[in-house]
Amino acid sequence: MKFNRARNKTIGGIFIFIMMVAFVFGRPNFYLEGPGTAEPTSNFVKVDGKTDKKKGNLLLTTVAIRPATPFFLLKAMGDDFETITPKEELMGNESNAEYNQIQQYYMQSATNAAVAAAYSKAGKPYKSEYLGVYIMEVAENSDFKNKLKIGDTVTEVNGYHFNSSEKFINYVKKLDKNDKVTIKYTRDGKNKTAKGGLVKLEGTKRYGVGITLTDNTKVTATPPTKIDAGDIGGPSAGLMFTLQVYSQIANVDLKDGRTIAGTGTIDSDGNVGPIGGIDKKVYAASHQGATIFFAPDDPVTKEIKKYDPNYVNNYNLAKQAAKKLNTKMKIVPVKTLDDAINYLNKTK
């Protein structure tokens, strides 16, 4: 029996490579980010207890995240739409449970902002009650590392109340690096207090508390709207949920029988913000048959370029992804809710 030595060497090399891949990546230290789903927002939104029955779809888009096992890693090799990401880059210091909890807090904040933005645009009554700010992360070097935890709601800092996380951050920015801070917060319905100093914030020259925040609000509206995103987390469905809610409460047909996808955060004023993994969301939307995809056209400032010289904004990343896919789906840049609504009305 003859042996092909060159062929055997090749097979041996592949085997060794696979074993190396299994050793390096076949651990929970790495995750794969790839195209997720593109799902009709009407599945998640009810206005006055009713779902949207108009023809067409408004699709929210997601990114799929899974452990980088050898099987999935080899399957993803050579795929432009799969990304290997270290766990610490994806989740920071959080456990899987904490990471999922954070994504749910982001979603809750996003759905509240979506309702506020949609009702404001439609001229319908709503009430926004500011409860405080959720703690999303506590830095390792923070004085509050073992005092505060993910999910705590900050209600007061040094005796001051704030109606947004942005105002909280701006207040802390003005403090001297040697100042002490007293934080009042709620946990499991109980009021608590924590004290500590400021620390140097990683990657900056500034001092701060060392916590990451998002607004904790409660929005009630007339007619009542309920958004139940289920297991979907994160803030990136904000724009598409806003379009869905607005179309129902204003009784306008934005879809006009079309399949429309997109992504982007939303604030209560209707401003659209950038998100991660937009290339994967373009893929999911295209494969679901969308003909329009809304992409945040976030500004690339000098400050951003200084921090990341290679930064490319969401809109341009989306166009690059569409080109790779050779899709006919139209990539539409948006900065605001009005941009998306005006485009849909103009192209009916």
Residue pLDDT, tens place only, 241-273: 999 999 999 999 999 999 999 999 999 999 999
Q: What is the pLDDT of residue 94?
A: 76
Q: What is the C-alpha separation between 171 and 156, in angstroms, rounded? A: 12
**Residue 215: is its pLDDT beyond 50?**
yes
- The residues, ordered by sequence, that sit 6+ positions from 166 with a Cβ below 8 Å of its Cβ are none
Q: What is the pLDDT of residue 214?
A: 82
Q: What is the C-alpha separation between 120 and 129, in angstroms, rounded? A: 15
Q: What is the C-alpha separation between 293 and 340, in angstroms, rounded? A: 10
Specify the higher pLDDT residue, 188 or 294. 294
How sure is the predictor about 19, in pLDDT bands with cuts at 50, 70 and 90? Answer: very low
Specify the higher pLDDT residue, 102 or 224. 224
Would you tell me how many other CB atoms lie within 10 Å of the CB of residue 43? 14
Q: What is the pLDDT of residue 283?
A: 98
Residue 254, burial from CB neighbour count under 10 angstroms (0-12, 13-18, 19+): buried
Q: What is the C-alpha separation between 301 and 216, in angstroms, rounded? A: 28
**Among 7-16, 265-274, 305-314, 330-339, where is mean pLDDT lowest?**
7-16
Does residue 119 sit in helix, strand or coil?
helix
**Residue 1: is its pLDDT beyond 70?**
no
The structure tokens listed for 318 are: 């989306």
Specify the higher pLDDT residue, 116 or 72. 116
The structure tokens listed for 122 are: 């439609």
CA distances to 8, 160, 184, 237 from 274, in Å: 50, 31, 31, 11
Q: What is the pLDDT of residue 47?
A: 97
Contact (Cβ atoms closer than 8 angstroms) between residue 95 and residue 89: no
Q: Select which of 128, 236, 247, 268 is catalytic.
A: 236
Average pLDDT, the chain: 88
**Residue 11: is its pLDDT beyond 50?**
no
Q: What is the pLDDT of residue 28?
A: 56
Instruction: Please confirm, yes or no, whether 280 is among the known catalytic residues.
Output: no
**Residue 10: is its pLDDT beyond 60?**
no
Give the DSSP H/E element, type plus range, for residue 87: helix 87-91
Q: What is the pLDDT of residue 91?
A: 79
Contact (Cβ atoms closer than 8 angstroms) between residue 118 and residue 242: yes
Instruction: Please confirm, yes or no, whether 268 is among the known catalytic residues.
Output: no
Q: What is the C-alpha separation between 65 and 232, in angstroms, rounded? A: 12
Q: Select which of 87, 121, 255, 281 is catalytic.
A: 281
Q: What is the C-alpha separation between 295 and 282, in angstroms, rounded? A: 9
